[in-house]
Amino acid sequence: MEINVSWEKWTEILRAAMDGGEFIGLSEEQIKRLAYRFGGFFAEHIDSANPEQRLLQKLWMDATKEERQALVSMLIKVLNRDELKEKQLNR
C-alpha cells in the first residue's frame, strides 16, 4: 500500500496524531511508544511515496531497537520545532 502525500502533508498528519495523543492526556513517553509501533508498521507495510519517507523507511529497517527509538525521538523533535515555528509566524 502506498500513501501518496508530500513530505509536508505527511508531517502534518503525524503532528495531528501527536496533538490528538496530547489532547487525550498521553504522556510524551506514551506518544513515543505509540510512534515506535506505528514506525514499525509503516516501514513494513507502506510503500514510500517520496524521498524523505524512503529515507526514514531505510533507516528504520536497518536500525537497532535503540536506534529506532532515537529516530522516533528526533522525528518528534522536528515536528515540535516545526509547529513552534509555524505558530510564531502566525502571530
- Asked whether residue 2 is assigned to any structural domain, the reply reads no
User: Scanning the structure block, which residue is given the C-alpha cell 509503516?
Assistant: 42
* pTM score: 0.78
Q: What is the pLDDT of residue 54?
A: 87
Q: Is residue 53 part of a domain?
A: yes
Give residue 83's pLDDT: 78
What number is the average pLDDT over the span 7-29?
88
40, part of any domain: yes
Domain that holds residue 50: 7-89
Q: Give the C-alpha separation, 61 to 15, whole Å.
A: 22
Q: What is the CATH number of the domain that holds 71?
A: 1.10.760
Cα(14)–Cα(41) distance, rounded to whole angstroms? 14
Residue 44 has pLDDT above 70, yes or no: yes
Give mean pLDDT, residues 10-19: 85
Split into its structural domains, the chain has a count of 1
Query: d(Cα 6, Cα 40) in Å, to the nearest integer?
Result: 20
Contact yes or no for 35/76 (Cβ under 8 A): yes
